[in-house]
Amino acid sequence: MKKRIFIILLLLFANCTSDEQGYQPTELPIEIPEVFSTYLIPPVIPADNPQTVEGVALGRKLFFDKILSADGTQSCASCHSPQNAFAENLPTSIGVDGISGTRNAMPLFNLAWNYGDRFNWDGSALSLERQAEEPVENPIELHSDWNNVVNRLQNHPEYPELFQLAFNTSTITKELTTKALAQFERTLISANSKFDRYTLGQASLTPQELNGLDIFLREDKGDCFHCHGNPNNPLWTNNDFHNNGLDATFTDLGLGAVTGDPNDNGKFRSPSLRNLAYTAPYMHDGRFATLDEVIDHYSEGLQNSPTIDPLMKQIAQGGVQLTAQEKADLKAFLLTLSDPSFLNNLDFQN
């Protein structure tokens, strides 16, 4: 009898040792593309959520799993589709209850290079981990409850083991779930557009595309670059907040509703211009169906308001007044920033 108890204790001890003490998930450093390592400072990886093989795999499974929604009908990917560069082709997203929200689903890529670490159109999420919390409970999105979600995951036949592998514990929490989602999202890197290859000397641009770049960079023409990057800032966004003249009066205060500062009313985060070919419709409310409409807006559709960004310099004339040819050239350049390989990367699929 004593011998049997000894063996049981020995087995328990051995089990604890292997599961709780000796095991470490496998580190998976971010693979930094050459155009980023050459021109940009390193990405932001929180010290308390390092990238691991198992964490990313878990995050990917969670991202595509409808278990996060109240009725099991939607996942993160329902509104952030890989085929749309993790955006959506609807102006505003429709949640599990069939209710339409007020914002366009933002595309998801190069998120670890958002140095200000403020996410969402209005900057309401102060880290990628926190961003992942909100849609789960939002009544017009997944309309779930984190306690329920955690219970479901805990009672799932696979997830406890996957959390064990990713975080060395099979006790599932909201915090670990959002950490895994953030780890996966940080792997969504897009840096293989035609323009990236042009930067690396592996492709050439047409005269029209080069002229479009000129318009993009010229302060007396498009002047897009002050907010949307440049050949030496291949993120193609400053991730900052601007009132870009969409409305004379605001139905959505954007950053102002988050900070409470009236000076921030009507300001929204500059989205990256990468992958525009796949992320229509455009703007925070998806009001523009096409890229042509976007260019028309900056050319002659600006609306004045008290918080208009001074970079909308020709507000008095309604915009920068591009000719039809200049608009076509600008559009041709913008499309060189799209990266088809990002859509087809098997690591990013369900």
Partner 1 sequence: MKNLFWHLLLTVLIFSCNDDNDGNGLRNITVDFKFTHTWDGAVINDSNFTTSVVTNANGETMTIARLRYLISRIELFNTQGDSFTFDGYKFTDLSDTTTYDFSTNNAIIPSGTYTLRFIWGFNEEDNLDGAYPDLNSASWNWPEMLGGGYHFLQLDGMYNVDSSPSPYNFHNGTARLSTNPNVFEQNFATIEFPEEIVLSENATIEIVMDIAEFFKNPNTWNLNVLDTPLMPNYNAQKMMQENVRTVFSLGTVSQ
Interface residues toward partner 1, by CB under 8 A: 39-41, 113, 115, 214, 217-220, 223, 225-227, 229-233, 235, 238, 263, 308-313, 315-316
Q: With respect to partner 1, which residue has the nearer C-beta, 155 or 317? A: 317
Is the dihedral angle over the CA atoms 127, 70, 160, 20 positive or is it negative?
Answer: positive
Give the span between the Cα atoms of 306 and 340, in whole angstroms: 40
Q: Where does residue 176 rank: exposed (0-12), middle (13-18), buried (19+ CB within 10 A)? A: buried
- 27 vs 219, beta carbon nearer partner 1: 219
Closer residue to partner 1, CB minimum distance, 40 or 277 = 40
Structure tokens at 39: 């021109």
Distance CA 162, CA 80 (A): 23
Q: Which is nearer to partner 1, 60 or 274 (CB)?
A: 274
Among candidates 55, 57, 67, which has minimal Cα distance to 152?
67
CB of residue 320 to partner 1, shortest distance in Å: 10
Q: Which residues contact 126 (CB under 8 A, 6 or more apart)?
A: 117, 118, 119
Q: Around Cβ 320, how many Cβ atoms within 10 Å?
A: 23
Closest CA to 89 of 280, 308, 303, 338: 280
The beta-strand segments (E) located in 106-242 are: 241-242
Closest CB to partner 1 among residues 157, 310: 310
DSSP class of residue 240? -
Q: Which is nearer to partner 1, 273 or 280 (CB)?
A: 273
Q: How far is CA 262 from CA 13, 108, 265, 306, in A?
A: 61, 29, 5, 9
Name the minimum Å distance from CB 169 to partner 1: 36
Report the distance separating Cα 283 and Cα 286, nearest Å. 5
What's the min distance (Å) between Cβ of 81 and partner 1?
29
Residue 51 · residue 27 · CB < 8 Å:
yes
- Phi–psi pair at 233, nearest 5 degrees: -130, 80
CB-nearer residue toward partner 1: 26 or 37: 37
Distance CA 201, CA 79 (A): 36
- Report in angstroms how near the CB of residue 71 gets to partner 1 at its nearest: 42
| Nearer to partner 1 among residue 174 and residue 226 (C-beta) | 226
* Smallest separation (angstroms) from partner 1 to the CB of 41: 5
